[in-house]
Amino acid sequence: MTPNQHALLTPQQMTQADQAAVVAGVPAFRLMAAAGNAVAEAIRARWSKRPVLVMAGPGNNGGDGFVIAEQLRQHGWPVTLAFMGQIDRMSEEAQAHAKAWQGEWQSLSPMQLEGAELVVDALFGAGLSRLIEGVAYEMLEAVVQSGLPVCAVDVPSGLDGTTGQALGMVAKAELTVTFFRKKPGHLIWPGRFLCGDLLLCDIGIPESVLKGLAINIMENQVDLWRQDYPWPQQNGHKFHRGHVLIYGGQWITGASRLSARASQRVGAGLVSLAVPEISWPIYAASMLSVMVKPLGKNQSEQAFHQVLNDSRFNVVVIGPGAGLDGKDKDRVKQAVLGTLKCGRACVLDADALTAFSEQPEVLFSAIHGPCVLTPHEGEFARLFPHLSEPSGKDKLSRAKQAAHETGAVVLLKGADTIIASPDGRAIINTNAPAELATGGAGDVLAGFIAGLLAQGMTPFYAAAAAAWLHGEVANEIGVGLIAEDLADALPNVLQRLKAYQD
Ligand SMILES: NC(=O)C1=CN([C@@H]2O[C@H](COP(=O)(O)OP(=O)(O)OC[C@H]3O[C@@H](n4cnc5c(N)ncnc54)[C@H](O)[C@@H]3O)[C@@H](O)[C@H]2O)[C@@H](O)CC1
Ligand SMILES: Nc1ncnc2c1ncn2[C@@H]1O[C@H](COP(=O)(O)OP(=O)(O)O)[C@@H](O)[C@H]1O
Ligand SMILES: [K+]
């Protein structure tokens, strides 16, 4: 991944960027001035002049706080500065800015909230290293209770910039102003919620510092995979655009049909559904351009293998509506293992994941080729009990670890879907609206991924592009969305994407 404006920096990488900028000739004093000025400007643009309490902590985040206080004072704002720390133990640049502050300062205490109409949170930023406790905890708790609007500097204090988790106590901000590049914690829940609106400001750090950082986390934006997007070629024909095979279940027939339609809409040249003979009429009657293949009268665990012998299927989707009752579960497992054995690219979702709950290692050890696993948190916990939510591990590390352990691309769903590659790269999706929390939306996503894989995108970028398109169509439809709408709303979004590309 080429580091660009969508690169996400961990707090450690941000510190390195900061140091590299200084080495490149930008004085630390000037970076801090630029950061503080950017926040003060954002505050003046958003709020009318009012009494403001600036909470400044012991590190450089506090240094920014002194700059903000002085800027607002110069613009005639009534400013109270509450400080926690020792000036003479601050960095040189923070000390210089603290001295430049023309007002008084008091030791941090909840009493200072009296009369304030806005709180600037410059207690801790990237340097937060442990749980918030003591007077900082009491202060943040009092800020929460006050209900006052908060503008956070870099991150709301107490938010872990890498994981998006709250360390102790965090006051939700209405606005968070951050510098140079976003951090993963700004985008992962609950961090995304706690930051409120996020404003990214340039403070004069040269882009060249990115080269020295091993960046492997990105926000999902079109620029990441735009070059690889498989637009139809002038002289192409349907066989150039891939053939997706989808496993259809006996009882729940809608899910795999949603996947099939999604694969078609995203451009797969051909889509086939392989279904139990008894359900064939239902499938066949409802599909026009999808080919529906019956799996034989005595549908055996091996029936799907015979279909797989046709090498024209270049991607297989198993899971949506596949079924887990009685013999269904064994059929699903056999279909998955057969697909993996013959090295077909595949998307494994829903029941194809749950079917391996008792022996996830059987699934993992069979994965050798291109494979995307698309669990929601429930399915993830069944496959990776040691990485599930109660483990205390954050979502980004859990998804990365799962990809590392399985050798598959893991797309861990949710409001902050994470796409993790076995090579350590990860993409965080940020455009999905809450309307997607509806039955069948995941089946459509699986179909989008498969359709892009079939047309030659790599599993990592196919998953990222599909997640972005999924969010974008959902935004276009808005409230009232049902899963059936998603695939049919895709053409508008694709047209816009293509126009942007051209
Ligand atoms: N990265 C950049 O490019 C720039 C960063 N700046 C600011 O600098 C900040 C980072 O500064 P620092 O690295 O000094 O870090 P912080 O200001 O976040 O805090 C570090 C200090 O807090 C203490 N501390 C950490 N966790 C604590 C806890 N739970 N309870 C009590 N004390 C705790 C540490 O011992 C240390 O003294 C950024 O967040 C940003 O606001 C800007 O000044 C300018 C440019
Ligand atoms: N609150 C939310 N905000 C944004 N996207 C969401 C939210 N909740 C769920 N989604 C997305 O909706 C889809 C739901 O998929 P899934 O849970 O597999 O449902 P189903 O199995 O019914 O299709 C996923 O892509 C998920 O990321
Ligand atoms: K802060």
Q: Which amino acid is at 296?
A: G
Q: Which of 22, 32, 60 to mutate to test the pocket of ligand 1 (most atoms within 8 A of CB)?
A: 60
Ligand approaching nearest to the C-alpha of 351: 2
User: Taking the complete model, does pTM exceed 0.90, yes or no?
Assistant: yes
Ligand approaching nearest to the C-alpha of 19: 1
Cα–Cα dist 152/334, whole Å: 53
Question: Which chain residues have CB less than 5 Å from ligand 3, an ion?
Answer: 121, 125, 152-153, 157
Residues near ligand 1 with C-beta < 6 Å? Answer: 14-15, 17-18, 31-32, 35, 57-64, 124-132, 136, 153-154, 179-180, 203, 205
Helix axes 60-74, 92-100, angle to 10 degrees: 20
Q: What is the model's pLDDT at position 298?
A: 67
- The residue extents of the domains of the chain are 11-219, 222-501
Q: Does 130 carry a binding-site annotation? A: yes
At 173-210, the pLDDT tens digits run 999 999 999 999 999 999 999 999 999 999 999 999 99
29 three-class SS: helix
DSSP per residue, 74-140: HTT--EEEEE-S-GGGS-HHHHHHHHH--S--EE--GGGGTT-SEEEEES-STT--S---HHHHHHH
- Check for a shared fold between 11-219 and 222-501: no
Ligand approaching nearest to the C-alpha of 435: 2
Q: What is the model's pLDDT at position 1?
A: 56
Q: Which of 14, 37, 61, 160 to mutate to test the pocket of ligand 1 (most atoms within 8 A of CB)?
A: 61
Measure 357 CA to ligand 2 centroid, in angstroms: 21
Measure 64 CA to ligand 3 centroid, in angstroms: 9
Q: What is the model's pLDDT at position 303?
A: 86
Residue 151 · residue 42 · CB < 8 Å: yes
Flag residues of the chain having pLDDT under 70: 1-3, 298
Domain at 222-501, CATH homologous superfamily: Ribokinase (3.40.1190.20)
Q: Does 442 carry a binding-site annotation? A: yes
First to last CA, the chain: 22
Enter the CATH code of domain 11-219.
3.40.50.10260
At 310-319, the pLDDT tens digits run 999 999 999 9
Quick one: tokens of 205?
């750090």
Residue 113 · residue 119 · CB < 8 Å: yes
Residues near ligand 2 with C-beta < 6 Å? Answer: 350, 376, 413-415, 417, 432-434, 436-437, 439-443, 445, 470
Q: Whose CA is nearest to atom 15 of ligand 1?
A: 127
Q: Does 127 carry a binding-site annotation? A: yes
